[in-house]
Chains A and B, each alone.
Chain A
Amino acid sequence: MADLSTNFVGIKSPNPFWLASAPPTDKEYNVRRAYEAGWGGVVWKTLGLDPHIVNVNGPRYGVVYGADRRVLGINNIELITDRPLDVNLREIKAVKRDYPDRAMVVSLMVPCEEWAWKEILPKVEETGADGIELNFGCPHGMSERGMGAAVGQVPEYIEMVTRWCKANTRMPVLVKLTPNITDVRYPARAAHAGGADAVSLINTISSITSVNLDTMSPEPSIDGKGSHGGYCGAAVKPIALNMVAEIARDRETAGLPISGIGGITTWRDAAEFLSLGAGSVQVCTAAMVYGFGIVKELKAGLSDWMDEKGYTSVDQVTGRAVPNVTDWQYLNLNYVTKARIDQDACIKCGRCYAACEDTSHQAISMSPDRVFEVIDEECVACNLCVDVCPVEDCITMEELQPGMTDLRTGKVVEAEYANWTTHPNNPSAKAAE
């Protein structure tokens, strides 16, 4: 059976599944129950200096539903811990003492001045915590006070604060990155330059989930007004995966350990984050929707999949897909596919036809008796028909083998790899010499 235990920048945990810094990890009671349920670690909800902040007393969450009220995404306007610092520290110490094998990382957010970090770091160290995570990501409430995303959006600040922390504690330093920037590589490079042991990402995405059209207030509505909140959950996973991959394959940050966060809901999501470079993963929304029990599915699913694939440890999975993430210009233009419709599986809904005819390349024909067929002369292999087909594997993309003719272009498919950098239509193409 695969060994799920991890040693992430010196932080050991029996499995790679940590609960992210958020309401699930905001006090001893929850964290004990999380550990009992089987979570490998937690990132304790962000601590700040006293006097502790306050939260709103109305709704803190907005939601986006899929079918049957399935939660696809949640946004929140909750701030960091609203309990006194010493209460949190006492609880962290007690829990860590009782669960020495579990990862205990403490999230921190204090003003952007060195004295503040010097003041809080020894107190955290004293709890026996395994590491700290710098919350440079929170997009609401704290950023207006010059903390959270306000720091995370300025690479120079990230580097500076990271350096202070490295200088003032022996604990590993994880820097949590905000996605509310244009290019995540810059903050990642700054964290790296400051000496960060790892980055964790993504934090939540600035968002308004919905507007109440009767009151004209954004949701969640506090007395008729709303504020942008941080979006998370399954809906943000594609954005997070890309940011993780961008850092994993960036020359300057390659090899920098990553704790992957963002919409991880099933073991498969977790495996995808690992494959793109994460060494541990953090989960929040799925636990908030379904409870701590999901960790059983996460662990069992990852373990069985690793067994099936012959991976014996998590580090064998980490980064496995990174070499296959490339820039568009390097994609093989001689790779030609055509859509194929399995007539036995087809239920004749016509969605492929509508999608192709109305919005793509008019490459599917429809007969009076509702037989849908691909017109190879028109099919550009966009894949939209596959995506909209409600029947799995009814439409597939078939690769044209070298020597076959692409009826759309009239060209014979070549075996050789060829990309845009050498394409004759590319004004900056370099002729092969």
Chain B
Amino acid sequence: MKTTPRTSGVQAGRLSAKALAENFQDLHAPFDDHEAMVAADRCYFCYDAPCIAACPTAIDIPLFIRQIQAGHPNGAAKTIFEQNILGGMCARVCPTETLCEEACVREAAEGKPVQIGRLQRFATDGLMSSGVHPFTRSEATGKRIAVVGAGPAGLACAHRLAMKGHEVVIFDGRSKPGGLNEFGIASYKSVDNFAQSEVEWLMKIGGISLRTGERLGGSLTLEALRAEYDAVFLAIGLAGVNALRAEGEDCENVLDAVDFIADLRQTGNLSSLPVGRNVVVIGGGMTAVDAAVQSKLLGADQVTIVYRRGQDGMSASRYEQDLATSKGVRLVFNAQPLAVHGNGTVREVEFEYTESAGGTLTGTGETFRLAADQVFKAIGQTLEGAPEGLALDGNKIAVTGPGRTSEAGVWAGGDCAAGGNDLTVTAVAEGRDAAMDIHAQLMG
């Protein structure tokens, strides 16, 4: 019998290969030249523009848009890359609706901001696809720096250090570089193996070598790195996943959303990925949305995101929430998981409604159950494998200024460091700024 969205259990191949290919194509088609010109023309070239202040990497947005409008998209790309070497990926994954485009004066005026993200993609795609790397290295300094983690923070730091003339070695525990760009982003936001192309393009600066399969706690120790290198930048991300702490959590098919998202990105055959008929995603962030939407796109019949607080508390933007509902995902707010039911394999999840008073969340006692063949946990990641001896701030590595840790010669940035907001673009900014600080200290 043919497998369909309503076939029971967890099944691969619920949709035809053609339907899957369509579902996982680029979420937003790239602008063509004329669309970009029209979109660029809407920019007012604001004085001291609010969009720049809203960009964690402070890209000179009005300038790059004017460069597009003036028929100089490669100049626009260079303006972007000067501030954000991963501007290509950020153009795809930034929640622009809560950053630059939210600050755009045309959002205030008309509810229709300049499409900054898509314009950034237009510019950066153009230059990157030409294979040109727009930067060159300064004279060699003879300094060597270890960067641990080849995600956005590590790559941005390494690139800036290489530009400044330093030699950089990036270590990453996985088999491929990219970090969350490669393993943690919904497939329809980064098609055509973009994350790997971007790393290859970034590495054209020279002076950066990559060593995969090496991680702290494995083959690496901080002591050894500090001894061998002039400086160390830690960008190890958040490798741990929070537990539900609900009864029955160890049932079969109760999975970490981040693993599901990574599998989707790494597979060469979407038809081979199993997904439940009834999927329940627990959490309120981008990971929850990415897992839920992709479950639906893989062919799940019923997909529900359950979040313990109200809609306004969701860290996924309203835009992302709307994307989810437009794909047929149901959002349930103010409910927390009590128990996972099933005879070894999950069949239902039981939730209790919540209410919050004075910042504390309490159960109301009223419960309900959702049928579930598959449950994805997306309630946050935690720091794992941080080197002993580094001061922590909460559950992350404590940093001051541009990423200085409690240990001399050791910097940290990206999701593993305290103070950020777990966005790719923020990780890029932290990596870049730490690089500048490392450079200043080493050369000072």
Contact of B1 with A by CB under 8 A: no
Determine if A350 and B34 form an interchain contact, defined as CB atoms under 8 angstroms apart.
Answer: no
Q: Interface-forming stretch among B39-47, B214-222, B274-282, B308-316?
A: B39-47
Give the size of the chain B interface in residues (CB under 8 angstroms): 15
Q: Is the CB of B47 within 8 A of A350?
A: yes
B41: A residues at CB distance < 8 A: 67-68
Is B366 part of the contact surface with A, judged by Cβ < 8 Å?
no
Q: With A and B bound together, what is the CA distance between A354 and B48 in angstroms?
A: 9
Say which residue of A351, A390, A391 sits within 8 Å of B47 (CB atoms). A351
Q: Quick check: which of B105-113, B138-146, B191-199 contacts chain A, the rest being far away?
A: B105-113
Known: A68-B41, A390-B44. A347 touches B106 (CB 8 A): yes
| Docked complex Cα distance between A387 and B95 (Å) | 34
A351 touches B44 (CB 8 A): yes
Closest to A345 in B: B109
B105 contacts A366, C-beta separation under 8 Å: no
Q: Which of B37, B41, B109 has the most CB of A within 10 A?
A: B109
> Cα distance A67–B43 when bound, in Å?
11
Contact B46 A350 (CB under 8 A): yes
User: Given contacts A390-B44, A391-B109, are A348 and B50 in contact (CB under 8 A)?
Assistant: yes
A352 to chain B, nearest CB (A): 9
* B109: chain A residues within 8 A (beta carbon): 347, 390-391
Q: Does A225 contact B (CB under 8 A)?
A: no
Q: Is the CB of A350 within 8 A of B48?
A: yes
Say yes or no: A353 contacts B38, CB within 8 Å.
Answer: no
Separation in Å of the B132 CB from the closest CB of chain A?
19
Nearest chain B CB to A264 CB, angstrom units: 25
* Minimal beta-carbon separation of A366 from chain B (angstroms): 7
- Tell me which residues across on chain A come within 8 A of B44, comparing CB atoms: 349, 351, 390
Question: A353 to B45, alpha carbons, bound, how many Å?
Answer: 12
Q: Which residues of A contact B108 (CB under 8 A)?
A: 347-348
Interface residues of A in 337-380 (CB under 8 A from B): 347-351, 353-354, 366, 370
Is A69 located at the chain interface by the 8 A CB criterion?
Answer: yes
Contact B47 A366 (CB under 8 A): yes
Question: What does the 1/0 interface line of A314-352 toward B look like (CB < 8 Å)?
Answer: 000000000000000000000000000000000111110
Beta-carbon contacts of A365-407 to B below 8 Å, as 1s and 0s? 0100010000000000000000000110000000000000000
Q: Mark B46-72, 1 if CB is under 8 A from A, else 0.
A: 111110000000000000000000000
Which residues of chain A from 132 to 171 have any CB-CB distance to chain B below 8 Å in the complex? none
Q: Using CB atoms, name the residue of chain A closest to B69.
A: A67
Whether B38 and A349, one on each chain, are in contact in the complex, defined by CB atoms closer than 8 angstroms, is no
Q: Is the CB of A349 within 8 A of B34?
A: no
Decide: A67 and B38 in contact? CB cutoff 8 A: yes
Chain B residues closer than 8 Å to A354, beta-carbon distance: 47
Interface of B is mostly: helix
A347: min CB distance to chain B, Å: 4
Which A residue's beta carbon lies closest to that of B107?
A347
Measured in the bound complex, the distance between the Cα atoms of B103 and A349 in whole Å is: 10
Residues of chain A contacted by B48 (CB below 8 angstroms) = 350, 366, 370
Decide: B47 and A69 in contact? CB cutoff 8 A: no
Per the bound structure, the CA–CA distance linking A77 and B362 in Å amounts to 80
Minimum distance in angstroms from A423 CB to a CB of chain B: 36
How far apart are the CA atoms of A68 and B38 in the complex, in Å? Answer: 5
Q: CA A259 – CA B41 in complex, angstroms?
A: 36
Query: Are B105 and A348 within 8 A (Cβ)?
Result: yes
- What's the least CB distance linking A236 to chain B, in Å? 22
Chain B residues positioned under 8 Å from A370 (CB to CB): 48, 50
Nearest Cβ distance between residue B42 and chain A, in whole angstroms? 8
> CA A391 – CA B44 in complex, angstroms?
11
Would you list which residues of chain B between 88 and 112 have a CB under 8 Å from chain A? Answer: 105-106, 108-109
Q: What 0/1 pattern do residues 323 to 349 of B give for CB contact below 8 A with A?
A: 000000000000000000000000000
If A370-B50, A391-B109 touch, does A351 touch B45 (CB 8 Å cutoff)? yes
Among residues of A, the one whose C-beta sits closest to the C-beta of B34 is A69
30 residue pairs A–B, Cβ–Cβ below 8 Å: A67-B37, A67-B38, A67-B41, A68-B37, A68-B38, A68-B41, A69-B34, A347-B106, A347-B109, A348-B46, A348-B50, A348-B105, A348-B108, A349-B44, A349-B46, A349-B47, A349-B105, A350-B46, A350-B48, A350-B49, A351-B44, A351-B46, A351-B47, A353-B47, A366-B47, A366-B48, A370-B48, A390-B44, A390-B109, A391-B109
Residue numbers of B with Cβ under 8 A of A are: 34, 37-38, 41, 44-50, 105-106, 108-109
Inter-chain pairs besides A68-B38, A69-B34, A350-B49, 18 sampled, C-beta below 8 Å: A67-B38, A347-B105, A347-B109, A348-B46, A348-B105, A348-B108, A349-B44, A349-B47, A350-B46, A350-B48, A351-B44, A351-B45, A351-B47, A366-B47, A366-B48, A370-B48, A390-B44, A391-B109
Across the A-B interface, the 6 shortest Cβ-Cβ residue pairs: A350-B47, A354-B47, A67-B41, A347-B109, A347-B105, A349-B46
